[in-house]
């Protein structure tokens, strides 16, 4: 068992609110911080919505457990209060280096020496931020997936300066909040998931650009042959074509061709994937 | 509806026997050819085994349908008889260019002009064989997956010389034998499946070689994040580490490092994956 008892989550966006709720659902005392009253009000709504989602989708959650989780959550817009007694702070603020820097500079002053700092950043490496933290040995990444109650994975990745005992504590804590904890032993951009997903999606994009086959045929082949629930073009639509464009536009020649194709055929027509109801596929109206 | 009525399958190995049985199960009159009496006897056993498997695993197969399929199958070791009235010949002989050449040279003489020739080769392109067939416009690849009754995909891929009407006929025939037919519009080594699988598996191998994470952690991340039934190292064990070695040894520097790792840690110890009970994982004895 880890020695973590009190959890603070900074940022109550889509993923921050899920992390906070899941930790509260697992019995931890959780403080959720956001920057002002409007953000706190929005967070309270998100948490209430998550309680309903858990009741519908998580076995056992309907038996009072989803509502009990709400009682384990404290909301505040005062950072000093939020972190005063935190064993771990999970940072899920916007993916912007300036905001991260400001956040860690304040945290370094306000949090007690015992507090572990964990970033949920998807796009920055912990090494990009460790210099702001004032406690390199107690800082690492703990990376969650959207729809945390289904995709319950926590990728834990330190910097060379992270104390191995802190990595172990965070891995144990991950299991305690219902995640399958995964240790990443060296820093890797994209963690494990994107390190597999990007080459896979790129290969699919290349088949399309080269005129080998149509998206539906490529997806059918992958799904039927491997039993996976989604093919690569369904994943593109789920991730969103703007993100797909941004990743591909920074790749090799074939990837840049694919980026141009996505832009011309879809993005320029306002077709951004599932979120807009159309991308490689058409989706029913919400 | 295609105009195919009579089907001949050449070669009754693992996949050849599945293709023949599946076509018979779908109501076609199927002739299965193999080279001698011993091979024919082995084929009869395979077909009987497939009937039992279908009864256990395919909805509706237990109602006489699996046994009826056996009555649609004719076995012969006389090639002239096998192909005398075939609308389509599906060639599933060993993956050896000499054997393919011999087979097509004989077929070109023995089969009537109407017969479509379809190769199930995984590793050769139809262009590698078209010169032996004597009928380039009626020759293409029709590629099936192992456990055809579950992974019911048929990748159809012509050469530049294939008549588009023949491609359409074979796509329709694919649907008629219960496959999801997929058109590959230009020749592509590895068809669609391996064009996606190889970069995906390579990325996983690279994570291991680089010491980023352990196989079980990489697999957990992929399975939990995407909902896929298997992670990349489980797929390696299923495909077999000898095949994984052969593919990786012909790749880039990281892939060759991965090939060396597989050889040293597994192949040299007789651990070849699921087939031997041990690879990246250990499997229960059969």
Which residues of chain A neighbour B239 with C-beta distances below 8 Å? none
Which residues of chain A neighbour B218 with C-beta distances below 8 Å? 192, 196
Cα distance between residue A91 and residue A103, in whole Å:
9
What pLDDT score does B286 carry?
61
Which whole-number Å values give the CA distances from A76 to A33, A45, A102, A110, in the listed order? 5, 14, 18, 15
Q: Which of residues 190-209 of A touch B (CB under 8 A)?
A: 191-193, 195-200, 202-204, 206-207
Give mean pLDDT, residues A245-251.
92
Q: What is the mean pLDDT of chain A?
A: 96
B203/A199 Cβ within 8 A: yes
Q: Could you tell me if the ipTM is greater than 0.85?
A: yes
Cα distance between residue A196 and residue B23, in whole Å:
37
Nearest-by-Cβ selection for B199 from A155, A188, A199: A199
A160 close contact with B: CB closer than 8 A: no
Report the candidate in A24, A119, A25 with the shortest Cα–Cα distance to residue A74.
A24
What pLDDT score does B198 carry?
94
Cα distance between residue B271 and residue B239, in whole Å:
13
Nearest chain B residue to A158 by CA: give it. Answer: B212
A221 close contact with B: CB closer than 8 A: yes
Give A93-133 pLDDT, tens digit per residue.
999 999 999 999 999 999 999 999 999 999 999 999 999 99
Instruction: Detail the DSSP E strand segments found in chain A.
Output: 6-10, 29-33, 73-76, 88-91, 116-119, 139-144, 153-158, 180-184
Nearest chain A residue to B185 by CA: give it. Answer: A212
Which residues of chain A neighbour B251 with C-beta distances below 8 Å? none
Q: Tell me the shortest Cα–Cα distance from B206 to chain A, in angstroms.
A: 9
Give mean pLDDT, residues A219-229.
96
In sequence order, what are the residues at sequence separation of 6 or more whose Cβ sits closer than 8 angstroms to the Cβ of residue A224? B145, B151, B152, B153, B180
Is-contact A144 A118, C-beta < 8 A? no
Report the candidate in A105, A104, A74, A108 with the shortest Cα–Cα distance to residue A91.
A104
Nearest-by-Cβ selection for B184 from A145, A188, A212: A212
For chain B, list residues with pLDDT below 50. Answer: none
Report the candidate in A263, A244, A267, A257 with the shortest Cα–Cα distance to residue A208.
A257
Cα distance between residue B45 and residue B42, in whole Å:
5
What pLDDT score does A286 carry?
61
Report the candidate in B154, B204, B202 with the shortest Cα–Cα distance to residue B178.
B154
**Which helix H or strand E contains A22, and what residues bound it?**
helix A14-25
What pLDDT score does A149 carry?
97
Report the candidate in A82, A80, A55 with the shortest Cα–Cα distance to residue A70.
A55
- What share of chain A in percent tops pLDDT 90? 97
Which residues of chain A neighbour B210 with C-beta distances below 8 Å? 186, 188
Q: Tell me the shortest Cα–Cα distance from A100 to chain B, in angstroms.
A: 25
Residue A271 has pLDDT above 70, yes or no: yes
Residue A3 CB neighbours (<10 A): 9
Go through the domains of chain B in sequence order and give each one's CATH number.
6-184 (3.40.50.720), 195-276 (1.10.1040.10)
Cα distance between residue A194 and residue A243, in whole Å:
13
Give A40-92 pLDDT, tens digit per residue.
999 999 999 999 999 999 999 988 999 999 999 999 999 999 999 999 999 99
B225: left (phi over 0), alpha (psi -120 to 50) or beta: alpha
A192/B224 Cβ within 8 A: no
How is residue A162 written in tokens?
């992270």
Cα distance between residue B262 and residue B175, in whole Å:
39
B189 close contact with A: CB closer than 8 A: no
In sequence order, what are the residues at sequence separation of 6 or more whose Cβ sits closer than 8 angstroms to the Cβ of residue B62? B55
What pLDDT score does A285 carry?
76
* 3-state DSSP assignment of residue B16: helix
Cα distance between residue B269 and residue A52, in whole Å:
53
B192/A222 Cβ within 8 A: yes
DSSP annotation of A94: -
Give A142-188 pLDDT, tens digit per residue.
999 999 999 999 999 999 999 999 999 999 999 999 999 999 999 99
Q: Tell me the shortest Cα–Cα distance from B169 to chain A, in angstroms.
A: 17
B155 close contact with A: CB closer than 8 A: yes
What pLDDT score does B67 carry?
96
| End-to-end CA gap in chain A | 43
A151 close contact with B: CB closer than 8 A: yes
């Amino acid at each position: 068992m880890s020695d973590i008892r009190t959890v603070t989550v900074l940022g109550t966006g889509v993923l921050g609110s899920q992390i906070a709720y899941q930790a509260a659902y697992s019995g931890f005392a959780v403080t959720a911080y956001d920057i002002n009253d409007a953000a706190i009000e929005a967070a309270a709504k998100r948490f209430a919505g998550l309680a309903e989602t858990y009741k519908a989708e998580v076995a056992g959650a309907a038996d009072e457990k989803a509502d009990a989780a709400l009682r384990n959550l404290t909301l505040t817009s005062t950072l000093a209060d939020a972190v005063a007694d935190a064993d771990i702070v999970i940072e899920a603020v916007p993916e912007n280096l300036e905001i991260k820097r400001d956040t860690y500079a304040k945290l370094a002053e306000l949090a007690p020496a015992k507090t572990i700092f964990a970033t949920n950043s998807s796009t920055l490496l912990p090494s990009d931020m460790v210099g702001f933290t004032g406690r390199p040995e107690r800082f690492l990444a703990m990376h969650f997936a959207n729809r945390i109650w289904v995709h319950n994975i926590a990728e834990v990745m330190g910097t060379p300066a992270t104390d191995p005992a802190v990595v172990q504590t965070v891995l144990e804590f991950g299991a305690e909040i219902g995640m399958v904890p995964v240790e990443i032993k060296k820093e890797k951009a994209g963690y494990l998931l994107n390190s597999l997903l990007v080459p896979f999606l790129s290969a699919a994009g290349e088949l399309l650009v080269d005129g080998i086959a149509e998206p539906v045929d490529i997806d059918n082949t992958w799904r039927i042959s491997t039993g996976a629930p989604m093919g690569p073009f369904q994943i593109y639509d789920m991730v969103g074509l703007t993100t797909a464009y941004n990743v591909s536009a920074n790749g090799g020649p074939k990837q840049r061709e694919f980026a141009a194709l996505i832009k011309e055929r879809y993005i320029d027509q306002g077709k951004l994937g599932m979120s807009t109801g159309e991308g490689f596929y058409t989706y029913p109206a919400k």
